Structure 1
Amino acid sequence: MNALSNETKLKIEKTIKNLKANKMDAYYCDNKEDACNLVKTLIKKGDVISSGGSVTLKETGVYDIITSSDYKYLDRAAEGITPEEVEEVYHKTFSSDVYFASSNAITENGELYNVDGNSNRVAAILYGPKSVILVCGYNKIVKNIDEAIDRVKRIAAPSNTIRLNIETPCGKTGKCITADKEGAELCSGCKSDRRICCNYVVCAQQRHKDRIKIIIIGEKYGY
């Protein structure tokens, strides 16, 4: 944590402590190289692996690891794949050994906050895969759920609609139409048919200890 401010270091330490208190395993890595080395210790050759769409996984190099020939990767983006085959991948993911993704936000209280449209990602985080590994830059850490909600409305959702080339109001203005509205509720937003904020999930204390693992990196990645 050498390059980080003392305030940020304390924030990361508090977050990891509270994630563990909520029965999720949590790790800190100074950089993406250390994170990739850690990932290799958390999976084994021959594992059936799947992942959600994630800028962080690609930016850190984790995606290159899990799609290598050492593992059986369920690829929903394979060349020539049909819509029916994509659906089959989504369903097979529930019986996979390991599922990789990132998180829209992590609170200092040790909670995960994620918002999805299609919701294959949040579904797999909640149930199915034997192990879930979330790789996150420290920029995903927020104080509480209120800040997590705001982060999605101002950063995660607008950035992802642009990345996915989806026409929504937030993609044009850079923030949710309710971001500045006083008293706006959790699920308030646009009425676009292509809206990506459909299901809102908070992961707090878990029943299955350490099934969910969070790797926090001391660098900024993803949205």
Structure 2
Amino acid sequence: MPQSMNKDIIPLFFWIKAVSCPDISILIYWKKIKKNKRRDLPMEYYYQKTSFSLKIPAILKSLEQNNMEGYYFESCEEMTKDILSRIPEGSTIAWGGSLSIEESGLMDALRRGSYRLLDREPYMNTGDEKKFYGEAVQSDFYLTSANAVTYHGELINTDGIGNRLACMMYGPSQVFFVVGANKFTASIEEGFRRIENIAAPANARRLHRNTPCAKTGRCVHCHAAECLCCYTSVIRHSRFPGRLKVFIVGETLGL
């Protein structure tokens, strides 16, 4: 690329090269990115965001074919507003201790609302874990994230206790997955590698677990007492239409 090329058109150049379709939609999209661009973020951020956005139509189509609903948002604020519009006041809401949901601002918004929110901490502090898990399974809405999602619309998750997986598969009337762009992988195998080498070690450190991965940063397929990887599931199809909804945000969320 000539050095004299204006830096402002470099991202547009990469977009055109990526899709090989220099039509008016490209110009509209580039103007939108340029308008919302933060000067403190590196240009690589916008290249990655553009690359991911190109995959969204196919991802949403795959989720639909898998009997799930998929929705894409460019920001957490847009996603939070949409989710709140779907939950009636007075609903019982449980959640799986998701860092993605905390970071998105959704939990703060729910705590300000008129809902029956099942908060884990009071139950854990009084030793009523089983009561919490039992009520969560019967909730109207269960909020969680996914450890990995493939471009083919498959949801991959690993749990230490299995309560999160149980609610995903059966129980709550609606299950909402909040997923950042960083959670997507090309295949199930790549999703497993992401869990073993990124999500599990990071969560073990965050939760102060005494596991090998918390010390080494990589999975050694341990059988430690505090292992977070006891149960694994792949959801490739939802038995009940519309029960599983995947809210995708074009940002980095969670681990």
What's the counterpart of residue 122 of structure 2?
78
Which structure ranks higher in relative contact order (CA pairs < 8 Å, sequence separation ≥ 6)? 1
What's the counterpart of residue 194 of structure 1?
226
1:47 aligned to 91, 94, 104, which one? 91
Once residues 164 and 69 of structure 2 are traced to their aligned partners in structure 1, the CA distance between those partners, rounded to angstroms, is: 19
Structure 2: unaligned runs, 5 residues or longer = 1-28, 34-45
Report the number of matched residues: 211
- Give the structure with the larger helix fraction: 2
- State the Cα distance separating 1:67 from its structure 2 match: 2.7
Q: Return the letter of the residue paired with 2:121.
A: A
Residue by residue over 1:87-112, the C-alpha shift from the partner in whole angstroms, topping out at 9 and shown as x without a partner, is: 20110111110000100000011100
Q: How does 1:60-209 map to 2 (within 5 A)?
A: 60-78=104-122, 81-83=125-127, 85-177=128-220, 189-209=221-241
The question of whether the paired residues in 2 share the 8 Å contact of 1:12 and 1:138 is answered with no
Once residues 88 and 120 of structure 1 are traced to their aligned partners in structure 2, the CA distance between those partners, rounded to angstroms, is: 12
Root mean square deviation of aligned Cα: 1.5
Q: Return the letter of the residue paired with 2:228.
A: I
Once residues 80 and 86 of structure 1 are traced to their aligned partners in structure 2, the CA distance between those partners, rounded to angstroms, is: 6
Q: Return the letter of the residue paired with 1:129.
A: P
TM-score, with normalisation over the residues of structure 1? 0.90
3-state SS in 1 of match to 2:125: coil
Residue by residue over 1:41-84, the C-alpha shift from the partner in whole angstroms, topping out at 9 and shown as x without a partner, is: 1211000000001111110111112233410011121288311x
3-state SS in 2 of match to 1:67: helix
**Based on CA coordinates, which of the two structures has the bigger radius of gyration?**
2
3-state SS in 1 of match to 2:241: coil
3-state SS in 1 of match to 2:90: coil
Once residues 165 and 80 of structure 1 are traced to their aligned partners in structure 2, the CA distance between those partners, rounded to angstroms, is: 16
The question of whether the paired residues in 2 share the 8 Å contact of 1:116 and 1:196 is answered with yes
Structure 1: unaligned runs, 5 residues or longer = 178-188
- State the Cα distance separating 1:206 from its structure 2 match: 1.2
